[in-house]
Amino acid sequence: MAHSYIVHYGELGLKGRNRITFERILVSNIQRALEDLGRVEVRRSYSRILVAAPDEIAADTLEGRLRRLPGIAYFAPVTTTKLTMDAISETAIALARDVITPDTRFRVTTSRGNKQFPLTSPEISRKVGARVVAATGAAVDLHTPEITLTVQIYDEEAHLFLRRIPGLGGLPYGSSGRVLVLFSGGIDSPVAAHLMMKRGCAVDFIHFHLLRGQERIRSSKIVAMAHALLEPHRAPGRLTMISAAPFESAMAALDSRVATVVFRRFIMRVAEVIAERRKIPALVTGESVGQVASQTLKNIHVIAQTTTLPILRPLIGMDKAEIIEVAQAIGTFELSVQPYQDPCSLHARRPSIWSHIEDVIEVEEKIDVNALLRETLANYVEEIRITF
């Protein structure tokens, strides 16, 4: 095996007796994310995970995949050696000669998971550091080093590495259950989905559209966006595409300032039914306070009254610039800004920013919202499976 990495997690270490469950999920996620690359070994050991791959798999490809997986605090290209001071020191010198020169300031840090090892962590660091100084002529700097050589002592072996690659953090995908994301064609909802995935939630998507024909539905940017979000995990998901045509027809004769709120409430009603059928316990939206008319505190409250399911809003305190920055980082921004007619935009001519529930209910009675709900669920739902 030419490429070996040690994977460490952050929050999982706080899970107590449940930690092993989270560890197993993370191992499974890493295996699934890398399985198409070829023969990659992933194994769990105490407080860390080891990944090894043959040299025909590019290191950049491996590292790119690992960077995007929730649950990983950091990972490092690692060299494994025998559990003796001579072997540890010789390995340290071999690593140091590639990157440490007489002008380099470095330090050695040691963690000792194996408390039976005869030397303490500071003693190991001092002895290894002295050997590296003798071999390279470099200076030790404990406070502002340019390079840190890490030594980790475990029961049967020692691991050494010179650089840490930051991971995404959070919790392993799927460890927190499944949520249903109300997915629009814009920038916000993909970011909301990503943030919930980072908190360990598996995601399904629901989207209302005005597209006609199977080909246009399945080739739309909405499908591409859902695929892009799931691709780092190579995890299957479901995208439920629902035509907004019946709702639009019912609203055609009405000119109401609360139309946007009525439509959002209709979306919530449909989403609740879909979620309950799948035993999904929560909905997710991309709402941010005050960003658009339907997202004032008053309108958020009126919209939320249609469902008893919890509505999670990971973007609620973020501004647009912050949301765009995340969208660009996760690769959904360019898809989000492609031209697309979102049904929500049709109701934005004179939207009320302070809707009264009485006015909303009056419109819902005029369009017979319950009959619309039944018709939509019976005839205008298409499920698309996202697979890899």
**Residues belonging to the chain:** 388
d(CA 88, CA 81): 6
| CB 189, CB 292: distance < 8 Å | no
d(CA 146, CA 140): 10
**How high is the pLDDT of residue 382?**
95
Residuewise pLDDT in 10s, the chain (388 residues): 468 999 998 776 555 677 888 999 999 999 999 999 989 999 987 778 999 999 899 999 999 999 999 999 999 999 999 999 999 999 999 999 989 999 999 999 999 989 999 999 999 999 999 999 999 999 999 999 999 999 999 988 999 999 999 999 999 999 999 999 999 989 999 999 999 999 999 999 999 999 988 899 999 999 999 999 999 999 999 999 999 999 999 998 888 889 999 999 999 999 999 999 999 999 999 999 988 878 899 999 999 999 999 999 999 999 999 999 999 999 999 999 998 877 766 555 677 888 899 999 999 999 999 999 999 999 999 999 999 9
**How high is the pLDDT of residue 344?**
66
d(CA 156, CA 173): 30
**How high is the pLDDT of residue 1?**
47
Burial 174-200 (b: 16+ CB within 10 A, else e): bbbebbbbbbbbbbbbbbbbbbbbbbb
Q: For residue 170, what is the enclosing H or E element?
A: none
**How high is the pLDDT of residue 348?**
54
Q: Which domains does the chain have, with CATH numbers?
A: 3-80 (3.30.70.1510), 83-156 (3.30.2300.10), 178-386 (3.40.50.620)
Dihedral Cα 261, 267, 270, 274, nearest 10 deg:
-140
**How high is the pLDDT of residue 340?**
86
What token pair was written down for 32? Answer: 């699934």
DSSP secondary structure string for all residues of 292-333 = SGGGSHHHHHHHHTT-SS-EE-TTTT--HHHHHHHHHHHT-H
Query: Edge to edge, what strands does the sheet with 79-81 contain?
Result: 79-81, 158-161, 147-153, 105-112, 139-140
